[in-house]
């Protein structure tokens, strides 16, 4: 445990190529996850992210068995999942159960595929809980390429997407194509999820895609500020998690999720304290309390 604070060892490990590669990958993922996060949270897609990640796992397992790159498998699995969820889960009342149905089948299928695979077992474990140290040059290229595509598409559709998310009835009235923005966004989330599967693993993608944005939503009501904060939080969790895991050689996933969770708790405490202050101000009857606390909640 004392290895955790062995800064000298950490500094030495930080000079290694594969560590730098891992940090670069994490930085890219943090950016994409943070950018998509607030919309994921507002669209209530946390469970969909989890379901998509499980199918990314299935895809990765299939790729492992077939001997093609795990990244491509994960990407294919996640995009298929996103499209399936988009097609089958159109009605809000059905969405939850449809995700559960697809998720469990995909996970089962992945387990079977891994059973067929007789290579190194650490590869198997890696796609479930992350294998950041195994990131290679070609993986990084795919990662950066997909991240750029996601960010460009997101910036192009951002305003109609936000409109359709927060105010669907009026957005539809103003001619925003609400119906096909949903599956398009699901595909963007699918691509980002596939990237996350490589780093924190299928089981823990939610820690980077959802938790930072959920934390940001606690402390600001501005969509723009929430996005910036979510990116900062996701970067802190992804990069910080890797750096902390170096010296003890412990799983990256734990540190990423722990940092992410801590940030979330801190944001909740801040929101609670602000809420109390506002309540006290309201009670003491100072004039226009809301104007005095811009964007506070």
Partner 1 sequence: MSTTGTDESGRTVTSGAVEIESAALAFGDRTLWSGLDLRIEPGEFVAVLGPNGSGKTTLLKVLLGLQALSAGTVRVAGTAPGKGNHRVGYVPQQRAMDQQLTLRGRDLVGLGLDGDRWGTGLRGMRVRRRKVAEAVDSVGATPYASSPVGLLSGGEQQRLRVAQALIGEPDLLLCDEPLASLDLTHQRTVTELIERRRRETGTAVLFVTHEINPVLPHVDRVLYLVGGRFRVGTPAEVMTSETLTELYGAPVEVVRVGGQIHVAGAQSALCEDTVHHHEHDHAEPV
Give the nearer residue to partner 1 in terms of CB position, either 101 or 157: 157
Smallest separation (angstroms) from partner 1 to the CB of 204: 23
Smallest separation (angstroms) from partner 1 to the CB of 230: 10
Smallest separation (angstroms) from partner 1 to the CB of 194: 25
Sign of CA dihedral 238, 244, 249, 255: negative
The label of the residue with tokens 């474990």 reads 125
Give the nearer residue to partner 1 in terms of CB position, either 39 or 239: 39
Give the nearer residue to partner 1 in terms of CB position, either 154 or 243: 154
Query: Helix 252-284 vs helix 211-219: angle between axes, to the nearest 10 degrees?
Result: 20
Give the nearer residue to partner 1 in terms of CB position, either 140 or 172: 172
Give the nearer residue to partner 1 in terms of CB position, either 43 or 125: 43
Smallest separation (angstroms) from partner 1 to the CB of 296: 8
**Residues 65 and 57: beta-carbon distance below 8 Å:** no
Query: Which CA distances in Å does 67 have to 72, 112, 115, 167?
Result: 11, 16, 15, 46
Tell me phi and psi for residue 130, to 5 degrees: 100, 145
Rounded Cα–Cα distance for residues 191 and 102 (Å): 18
Smallest separation (angstroms) from partner 1 to the CB of 172: 6
Tell me phi and psi for residue 14, to 5 degrees: -65, -15
The binding site for partner 1 (CB under 8 A) comprises 38, 41-42, 91-92, 155-160, 162-163, 166-176, 216-217, 220-223, 226, 288, 290-291, 294-295, 297
Smallest separation (angstroms) from partner 1 to the CB of 37: 10
Give the nearer residue to partner 1 in terms of CB position, either 12 or 174: 174
Please spell the DSSP secondary structure of 186-201, one letter per residue: HHHHHHHHHHHHHHT-
Burial of 47 (0-12, 13-18, 19+ CB in 10 A): middle
The label of the residue with tokens 């089962």 reads 108
């Amino acid at each position: 445990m004392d290895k955790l604070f062995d800064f000298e060892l950490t500094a030495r490990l930080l000079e290694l190529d594969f560590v730098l590669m891992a940090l670069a990958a994490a930085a890219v993922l943090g950016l994409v996850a943070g950018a998509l996060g607030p919309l994921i949270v507002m669209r209530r897609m946390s469970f969909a992210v989890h379901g998509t990640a499980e199918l990314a796992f299935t895809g990765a397992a299939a790729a492992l068995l077939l001997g093609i790159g795990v990244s491509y498998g994960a990407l294919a699995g996640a995009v298929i999942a996103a499209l399936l969820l988009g097609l089958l889960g159109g009605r809000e009342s059905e969405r939850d159960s449809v995700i559960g149905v697809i998720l469990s089948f995909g996970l089962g299928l992945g387990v079977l595929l891994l059973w067929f695979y007789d290579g190194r077992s650490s590869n198997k474990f890696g796609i479930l809980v992350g294998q950041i140290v195994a990131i290679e040059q070609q993986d990084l290229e795919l990662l950066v390429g997909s991240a750029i595509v996601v960010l460009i598409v997101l910036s192009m559709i951002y305003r109609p997407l936000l409109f359709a998310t927060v105010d669907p009835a009026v957005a539809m009235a103003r001619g925003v194509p609400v119906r096909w923005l949903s599956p398009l966004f699901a595909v963007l989330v699918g691509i980002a999820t596939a990237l996350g599967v490589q780093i924190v693993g299928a089981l823990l993608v939610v820690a980077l895609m959802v938790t930072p944005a959920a934390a940001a939503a606690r402390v600001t009501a501005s969509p723009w500020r929430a996005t910036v904060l979510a990116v900062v939080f996701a970067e802190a969790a992804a990069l910080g998690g890797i750096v902390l895991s170096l010296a003890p050689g412990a799983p990256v996933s734990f540190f990423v999720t722990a940092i992410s969770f801590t940030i979330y708790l801190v944001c909740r405490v801040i929101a609670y304290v602000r809420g109390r202050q506002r309540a006290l101000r309201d009670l003491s009857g100072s004039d226009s309390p809301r104007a005095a606390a811009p964007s506070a909640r």
